[in-house]
Amino acid sequence: MLSAPQLLVAFRAACAPALFVLACFRFPGLLLASIVVAALVSDILDGVVARRTGQATDALRHADTIVDTIFFVGAAIALRVAVPHAWDGLWLPLILLVVVHVSRSTYELTKYGRLAAYHMWSSKALGLLLVAALVTAFITGRPTWLLGCALWLGVVNEVEGFLASVFLAEWRCDVPSLLHALRRS
């Protein structure tokens, strides 16, 4: 039986394909935006509930990180379907984000045998900015400058995480910033 935090993580994972399917069938942007907000709420609550019930484990934090990536990739694809021009002019930060993310993931898998789950402050800011960008674009049906800002912040976040992985000798979760990683190395 799944615990409440695990159910919240699973709910967020299910939101990604739901967004895509609903976007393909041209459901209203307000519904798509509502799913994004529900996913954000589940992301906040899974950590709160896990800490309060003593269920905050490295495995849950690791799953949370992977599901966050799955959700935002699914939401990005759904946005492409629902708002076809949302990504116009954003190929450079998008490509940089993918290249740095894949490089970082490869490095972490090689070094630690698994992906890092730092939950950095920049990751939290990125998540909020992505939610604002997605909600705005889904509701208005138009591209938004927030998406470009989110992609560039994503690049910065991935570089910060990559550098933390370079400096940390062993796998750790919950490293709030590069400065914290440098202190722990």
- The residues spanned by each domain of the chain are 4-184
pLDDT exceeds 90 at position 20: yes
pLDDT confidence bin for 31, thresholds 50/70/90:
very high
**What pLDDT does residue 2 have?**
87
Query: Which tens digit of pLDDT belongs to each residue from 33-55?
Result: 999 999 999 999 999 999 999 99
Q: How far apart are the first and last CA of the chain?
A: 38
* Mean pLDDT (the chain, rounded): 96
Confirm if 3 and 53 have CB atoms less than 8 A apart.
yes
| Rounded mean pLDDT, 73-86 | 97
Going from the C-alpha of 158 to that of each of 38, 60, 103, 163, 165, the distances in angstroms are: 25, 21, 9, 9, 10
CB within 8 Å of 2: residues ≥ 6 apart: 10
pLDDT confidence bin for 185, thresholds 50/70/90:
confident
The pair phi, psi for residue 74, each rounded to 5°, is -60, -40
pLDDT exceeds 90 at position 126: yes
Tell me what percent of the residues of the chain surpass a pLDDT of 70. Answer: 100
Confirm if 161 and 174 have CB atoms less than 8 A apart.
no
**CATH T-level topology, domain 4-184:** Four Helix Bundle (Hemerythrin (Met), subunit A) (1.20.120)
- Tokens 């069938």 belong to 25
Which amino acid, 144?
T
pLDDT exceeds 90 at position 1: no
pLDDT confidence bin for 164, thresholds 50/70/90:
very high
Which amino acid, 48?
V
